[in-house]
Amino acid sequence: MLKIRARGNESIGQMFKRFKKLCEKEGLTKEIKRNSYYEKPSERRRRQERKAVRQALRKQRAEPR
C-alpha cells in the first residue's frame, strides 16, 4: 500500500503527481492494465518467454567483454 504525506506547502496536484510516479515505479499501473482483461495461459507463457529473451539479451549486452 502506497502512502503519500503532504510536504510543507505542497498542493493536491503535486501530491497526486508524486503518487502517480510512485505507482509507476512500483509497476502497479502495468499490472492493473494487464489484469483488466482475461489473458489465456498460452498468451501468458508466450509473454513471459519473450520477456526472458529480452532480459537475456540485455544481460548479454551489459556484460563487459
Which residue reads 503527481 in cell numbers? 17
Q: How far apart are CA 43 and CA 5, in angstroms?
A: 40
pLDDT (tens place) for every residue of the chain, 65 residues total: 788 888 899 999 999 999 999 999 988 888 888 889 999 999 999 999 999 999 999 999 988 76
Q: How far apart are CA 63 and CA 22, in angstroms?
A: 30
